[in-house]
Structure 1
């Protein structure tokens, strides 16, 4: 099971890295084209926007596992350990319910947009809308793997040492 988690984390990181690197490359090429050669591509803004949305949705689960999401820790820190643990499990349940709802709504959104085209590229709007269900599904998978460690507060901000020390 730990090997599966490791591969999912690596795949998730690669997807986010690809999306952000692609944004950098196409925007940089467009700037060079515009100011260096007086010509730019109309589709770059649209594609960059869609890739940034993909990167944000897919990066949310990684941010959770690395302790980089915004959190209010004052209340759990003031509570006795048993109540703090119960509160954290409640937070996990709320996060799971919210992201499961977002996954379901994201699938509906993809279905709604599938027969419509984007303005610049002319592709189905359902394709960029896939960022929502893909990102929410990755978040849910990360949450399932990470919930117990989240509740026990067995992580530090930064890279997850359990994943990083594994050699696959």
Structure 2
């Protein structure tokens, strides 16, 4: 399970990195085209926007999998270690459920409005809107890995 989690973590990191690389590359190319050649790239803004959306979805799951998401620990720091462990399980189960809801809602949203054509790219908006489903699925997998890590925590062959 540890290998699968590590591979998933690397996949999320790579996809997040590629997304931000696409954003910077497209914005740079659009700027050069606009200011150096007075010919803006019509599609650059949409590509950058969609790459940011996907990058956020991958980044959210990546941060959550590493337990580096935003935490408000003012209250949890006052809890006992046992209560914090229980709260962690509740958060992971909640993330699993909410990730599934997000994935399902994304499918419905893309199904209903995915036929709209993006003006700059000329492709169906489905490819941008399905990012909600991808992000929800990534959160579901991340929650499963975290729950598996919690269950295997006391096993000596498992490395945290």
Shorter-chain TM-score above 0.5: yes
Higher RCO structure, 1 or 2 (CA under 8 Å, sep 6+): 1
Is 1:58–1:131's contact at 8 Å kept on the other side of the alignment? no
Count of aligned residue pairs for this structure pair: 155
Across the aligned residues of Structure 1 and Structure 2, the Cα RMSD in angstroms comes to 2.3
CA distance in 1, matches of 2:68, 2:79: 22
Deviations 1:23-63 (A, max 9, x none): 11111011111111111111111111111011001110111
Deviations 1:130-151 (A, max 9, x none): 2111111112111211235579
Three-state SS of the structure 1 residue aligned to 2:72 is coil
CA distance in 1, matches of 2:77, 2:55: 32
- Worse-matched range after superposition: 129-138 or 90-99: 90-99
Three-state SS of the structure 2 residue aligned to 1:74 is coil
Judging changes above 3 Å, is the alpha-carbon distance between structure 1 residues 26 and 150 closer, same or farther for their aligned structure 2 residues? farther
The match for 1:113 is 113
The match for 1:33 is 33
Judging changes above 3 Å, is the alpha-carbon distance between structure 1 residues 148 and 5 closer, same or farther for their aligned structure 2 residues? closer
The match for 2:135 is 135
Is 1:113–1:124's contact at 8 Å kept on the other side of the alignment? no
**Normalised TM-score (structure 1):** 0.82
CA distance in 1, matches of 2:73, 2:5: 27
The match for 2:155 is none
Is 2:65–2:146's contact at 8 Å kept on the other side of the alignment? yes
The gaps in structure 2 that reach 5 residues or longer are 152-158
Q: Within 5 Å, which residues of 2 pair with 1:62-73?
A: 62-73=62-73
2:95 pairs with 1:95:
yes
Deviations 1:99-158 (A, max 9, x none): 11111101111111232211211101111112111111112111211235579xxxxxxx
